[in-house]
Structure 1
């Protein structure tokens, strides 16, 4: 295996923390070999002829999760409160190789079709069936690639399709947040313009608060104050 970059080292350490934590059951996990990073892959038009004017952020080109796959699904067990989490991050090459989502054919609105066609997933709830997906919006000419979260809820922010939430986060800060959150279900809403006092998000606010309390006990060396501050700002 090639030497790991700092982000990859933190992710492997995070998975080890979950495996060794008391009252945490790791249901499934995967860690593939290190391959190409975004900075090693050229030209982008080899994947999509419309990507000639697509610009990846400098930090993406410098640092990315290069594993062919990194995934984990975990749940708490008694006596801990009931919490769970998961994530699966594909390799940069796999992200770029994805075609448009089949969801495009299910939409009738032209704007929504074009929007969804430009999404490439970077994380999903692969094992629990919860339906969470996180995407990069691969929009040519955009100064930055926005990150969008999809949940199986009816909430809509027109003109975008139902269940899509723009996140105040980048690819790299998303991967950083995964280390801290360990994929705690619903953590993405900490970076969305929502309120945990309203349905359907109230349940996530409660489970995230429980998760932070548990993590403070299990991982006392980690600083959860940045995530807790975001949680408090959404009350």
Structure 2
């Protein structure tokens, strides 16, 4: 296991992840139970091998817009919460190496023919094994894909396409630190009903607290998106 500061990071997204993990570790306003890089699998540290294999073996000639977010680690994981007893603010992300993503159809069968067909095209790259919230994000990557769509799955509400590309998803993930339900800010859905109350409360807290905890990041767009959905 490697910690931020113990080595150099040859790929820009790794360096950004290292800063994010350090921000969490150093935060006095959150209780952080996990913030780590996983092991580097053999051969998967070779960016040319990874993307040539994805193109040749899986028919996925991913564009440079995807490749620039490459990281070598088998996974990158965080899990944290607010120290306040009455708070809904918590978060988690579990990024999987792009070569090791699994088809959603291996986990969720789908309730009809449309879902079953869709799930066979979705590759899970971010999920929530610690909190068990049932949230995950997946690339929609049928053969020939260069720039995959991003879909968000909530086990209670099904799957929704996100208004984000892969790189923008990862950019936003680092800003939000994986706050629970942040993906709903980029889905075409409102949050007025009672079922969304904990998610909405947590997102409101994030946008109140994070600008003070992490002043180097801009939360203006996220505030606007939350207002649109409430």
TM over 0.5: yes
Aligned counterpart for 2:213 among listed residues 218, 228, 234: 218
Distance 1:182 1:83 in 2: 11
Contact in 2 for aligned 1:147/1:166 (Cα 8 Å) = yes
- Where 1:86 maps in the other structure, the secondary structure is strand
Contact in 1 for aligned 2:80/2:90 (Cα 8 Å) = yes
CA gap of 1:5–1:80, structure 2 versus 1, over 3 A, is farther
Aligned match of 2:105: 101
Contact in 2 for aligned 1:88/1:124 (Cα 8 Å) = yes
CA gap of 1:152–1:232, structure 2 versus 1, over 3 A, is same
Aligned match of 1:180: 175
- Where 2:173 maps in the other structure, the secondary structure is helix
Distance 2:87 2:212 in 1: 12
Correspondence 1:56 to 2:62:
yes
> TM-score, structure 2 length as denominator?
0.84
Shift of 1:5: 2.3
Shift of 1:39: 7.4
1:117-132 alignment runs, 5 A limit: 117-132=120-135
CA gap of 1:37–1:22, structure 2 versus 1, over 3 A, is same
Distance 2:57 2:220 in 1: 40
Aligned match of 1:153: 156
CA gap of 1:100–1:194, structure 2 versus 1, over 3 A, is closer
Q: Which runs of 5+ in 1 are unaligned?
A: 155-162
CA gap of 1:39–1:214, structure 2 versus 1, over 3 A, is farther
Count of paired positions: 220
Q: Which runs of 5+ in 2 are unaligned?
A: 1-6
Shift of 1:220: 2.1
Correspondence 1:42 to 2:52:
yes
Aligned match of 2:116: 113
Aligned counterpart for 2:96 among listed residues 80, 90, 96: 90
1:139-150 alignment runs, 5 A limit: 139-141=142-144, 144-150=147-153
Aligned match of 1:159: none
Contact in 1 for aligned 2:75/2:97 (Cα 8 Å) = yes
Contact in 2 for aligned 1:39/1:60 (Cα 8 Å) = no
CA gap of 1:136–1:38, structure 2 versus 1, over 3 A, is farther
Distance 2:139 2:216 in 1: 31
Aligned match of 2:4: none
Distance 1:45 1:142 in 2: 9
> TM-score, structure 1 length as denominator?
0.83
Aligned counterpart for 1:208 among listed residues 188, 203, 206: 203
Q: Which runs of 4+ in 1 moved over 4 A?
A: none
Correspondence 1:231 to 2:211:
no
